């Protein structure tokens, strides 16, 4: 089957790391008999240089017509006046906001996985980390406190600020369905995180998630209060498989979960909607400080490509082949500079891509 992928290499290290992911995808296509066709579009600073805006409607149209999008990163040094001395909607990062909104992506998935070989980067005690960390945080992206009505006004002579946290049942149901589907491809457990002892929105969240769970009898559902979840993530992270939560709780918990696994150069992510379409990208930025030096870690982008195979194309075996190839590269001692420790074999961006490709 032919899968149409739009590539957004972007700025900084983006083009270097996306090129390595393409190499690996080509190799997977060859081995498993799939055709991946790639079309590149400009977004971010490179699009500003070419067209005067971070994402043209034409480029957006191409992304909309694809089966999935693979993104490197956009943005540069904020000191780059060419890109930043302009109105906010014309800056590189505005392209990201536009594409996420226009594509209707409402679910962000961030895996937190601790590779045995990188256990040294885990800040938790060994007796905790040795039980393993392998979870995904599923965060609602388009509702909740960050999108509710807000205002600051004077009440009784005091400056008073109000933010509102709104969810309707459809918004909760559609992400819950995604979470149960993803748990079905993993260890079959969903932990729904809320603050139902205080918030009405959480009580609705809890009841809708419970309704959805009725259609997934083989998947265990557990409810957990967010304060407890924050503690459990550092006390016993091995208990988690899929954590499902609303926007703000997910914002905070996904950063906490990623920190316990160590390096930023290893963290993949996916943004999904109700159909199979998704946008896949590393969790890190464009790292302008190391751009063009062939030293960036391409593994987060390569692992994002694996998520694309699993979530958008239902190619589970192929996704696993990429993940195993990355694991083997680490087992064999290969490291880019960001994860290098004495005794490892230091490799460049392109060498790491070649090694993973060779392991497919």
Nearer to ligand NAD, 76 or 143 (CB): 76
Beta strands in the chain (DSSP E): 2-10, 35-40, 68-73, 107-113, 134-140, 150-155, 158-163, 189-194, 220-225, 242-245, 268-272, 278-282, 334-335, 345-346
Buried b (16+ CB within 10 A) or exposed e, 33-51: ebebeeeebbbbbbbbeee
Cβ 272 to ligand NAD, closest distance in Å?
Answer: 16
Q: How far is the CB of 157 from ligand NAD (least distance, A)?
A: 39
Q: Residue 68: beta bridge partners?
A: 5
Give the span between the Cα atoms of 192 and 269, in whole angstroms: 19
Toward ligand NAD, which CB reaches closer, 96 or 224?
A: 96
Name the site residues for ligand NAD (rule: CB under 6 A).
13, 73-76, 93, 96, 264-265, 281, 284-290, 296-297, 300, 338
Residues ≥6 apart with Cβ < 8 Å to 299: 265, 266, 326, 329, 336, 352, 356
Instruction: Point out the residues that are catalytic.
Output: 146, 195, 227, 251, 255
Cα–Cα–Cα angle for 133, 174, 212, nearest 5°? 80
CB nearer to ligand NAD: pick between 12 and 29: 12
For residue 273, give Cα distances in angstroms to 108, 141, 171, 174: 9, 10, 11, 8
Q: Using the minimum distance from each CB to ligand NAD, give the nearer residue, 75 or 237.
A: 75
The CB-side HSE value for 198 (13 A sphere, CA atoms) comes to 7
H helix or E strand, kind and range, residue 19: helix 14-32
We find the least distance from the C-beta atom of residue 115 to ligand NAD, in angstroms, to be 15
Q: Which long-range contacts (CB under 8 A, 24 or more apart) does 54-62 make?
A: 54/90, 54/91, 54/92, 54/93, 54/94, 54/95, 54/98, 55/94, 55/95, 55/98, 55/99, 60/98, 60/99, 60/102, 62/6
Q: How far is the CB of 33 from ligand NAD (least distance, A)?
A: 31
Question: How far apart are alpha carbons 1 and 11 in whole angstroms?
Answer: 31
Burial group, residue 292, by CB count within 10 angstroms (0-12, 13-18, 19+): exposed
- Nearer Cβ to ligand NAD, position 96 or 303? 96
Tokens standing for residue 244: 């499902």
In the bound complex, what is the minimum distance in angstroms from residue 208's beta carbon to ligand NAD?
A: 30
Q: Using the minimum distance from each CB to ligand NAD, give the nearer residue, 29 or 282.
A: 282
Q: Considering beta carbons, is residue 300 or 330 the nearer one to ligand NAD?
A: 300
Strand pairing of 158-163 and 150-155?
antiparallel
Query: How far apart are CB 296 and ligand NAD at their closest, in Å?
Result: 4
Report the nearest approach of ligand NAD to the CB of residue 188 (Å): 31
């Amino acid at each position: 089957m032919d899968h149409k992928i739009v590539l957004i290499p972007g700025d900084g290290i983006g083009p270097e790391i996306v090129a390595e992911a393409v190499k690996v995808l080509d190799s997977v296509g060859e081995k498993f008999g799939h055709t991946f066709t790639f079309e590149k579009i400009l977004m971010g600073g490179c699009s500003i240089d070419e067209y005067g805006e971070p994402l043209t409607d034409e480029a957006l149209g191409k992304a909309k017509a694809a089966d999935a999008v693979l993104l490197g990163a956009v943005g540069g040094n904020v000191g780059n006046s060419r890109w930043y001395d302009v109105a906010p909607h014309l800056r590189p990062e505005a392209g990201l906001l536009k594409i996420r909104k226009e594509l209707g992506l409402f679910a962000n998935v961030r895996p937190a996985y601790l590779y045995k070989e990188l256990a040294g980067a885990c800040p938790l005690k060994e007796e905790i980390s040795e039980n393993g960390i392998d979870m995904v945080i599923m965060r609602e992206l388009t509702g909740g406190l960050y999108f509710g009505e807000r205002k600051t006004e004077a009440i009784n002579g005091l400056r008073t600020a109000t933010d509102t946290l709104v969810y309707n049942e459809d918004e909760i149901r559609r992400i819950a369905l995604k979470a149960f589907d993803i748990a079905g491809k993993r260890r079959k457990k969903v932990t729904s995180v809320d603050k139902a002892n205080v918030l009405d929105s959480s009580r609705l969240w809890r009841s809708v998630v419970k309704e959805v769970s009725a259609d997934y009898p083989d998947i265990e559902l557990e409810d957990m209060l967010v304060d407890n979840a924050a503690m459990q993530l550092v006390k016993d992270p091995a208990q988690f498989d899929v954590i499902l939560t609303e926007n703000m709780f997910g914002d905070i918990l996904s950063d906490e979960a990623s920190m316990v696994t160590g390096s930023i150069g290893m963290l993949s992510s996916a943004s999904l909607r109700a159909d199979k379409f998704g946008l896949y990208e590393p969790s890190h930025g464009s790292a302008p400080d190391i751009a063009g030096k062939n030293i960036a870690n391409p593994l987060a982008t390569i692992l994002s490509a694996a998520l694309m195979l699993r979530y958008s194309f239902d190619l589970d075996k192929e996704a696993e082949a990429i993940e195993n190839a990355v694991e083997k590269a680490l087992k064999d001692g290969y490291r880019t500079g960001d994860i290098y420790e004495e005794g490892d074999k230091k490799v460049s961006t392109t060498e790491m891509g070649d090694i993973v490709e060779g392991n497919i």
